[in-house]
Chains A and B, each alone.
Chain A
Amino acid sequence: AQTVTQSQPEMSVQEAETVTLSCTYDTSENNYYLFWYKQPPSRQMILVIRQEAYKQQNATENRFSVNFQKAAKSFSLKISDSQLGDTAMYFCAFIFYNNNDMRFGAGTRLTVKP
């Protein structure tokens, strides 16, 4: 079974600065997707960014980018120019191709300070 580990329960960053959230995963398979989801106080999970394992190029979405290290099974999220609205829980997630069981890490609570 695949597992997802987020080793930072809580983090904080000053507004406009950069922060990196860590995620590692464990699988023996080669074909899978990785995700970062954001959960604000409204509880609704919002997809931030996704990465396909076969792609070597790191995914980028505006201020959000990932550092995907397949051999190390590492998938960190970098948030640049942090904004107050980035304050939320962030979950790393994993799913195999043609599978139906998306696995989530325990989450990192990020606080952006003014």
Chain B
Amino acid sequence: GAGVSQSPSNKVTEKGKDVELRCDPISGHTALYWYRQSLGQGLEFLIYFQGNSAPDKSGLPSDRFSAERTGGSVSTLTIQRTQQEDSAVYLCASSPQVSNEKLFFGSGTQLSVL
């Protein structure tokens, strides 16, 4: 696609429910990144993918968070048993290759956990 696409744009859920956030990177970009932006905070690195593999999962805040990427394209970030502190904007970015410094960001998913 022309840019990084994220869906849904906004998601409201109840505490304890599972949510899936989707990221569709720019076609051909091999690297994909997930960041979390809490209200008034900077961007917190969560995970990156090189192709379909995720060499570094250390940024995921708890075992309730998981992510996968299939076909070297679309990625899904899953949060199980959501908590109110999970409320944030989740941003996805892609770049042409790993270790390329230029990131292209999507518009994020605003997650609100009630």
Q: Which residues of A contact B (CB under 8 A)?
A: 4, 6, 9, 33, 35, 37, 42-47, 50, 91, 93, 95, 97-107
Residues in A with CB closer than 8 Å to B102 are 47, 50
Decide: A33 near B48, CB < 8 A? Known: A102-B33, A104-B42.
Answer: no
A107 touches B33 (CB 8 A): no
Dominant SS among interface residues on chain A: loop
Query: Interface code B19-32, partner A: CB below 8 Å = 1, 0 otherwise?
Result: 00000000000010
B contacts, CB < 8 Å to A: 31, 33, 35, 40-43, 45, 48, 50, 55-56, 59, 89, 91, 93, 98-99, 101-103, 105-108, 110
Q: State which of A35, A44, A101 has its C-beta within 8 Å of the C-beta of B107.
A: A44
Residue pairs across A and B with Cβ atoms less than 8 A apart, 9 shown, are: A45-B91, A45-B103, A45-B105, A46-B105, A50-B102, A91-B43, A100-B33, A100-B50, A100-B55
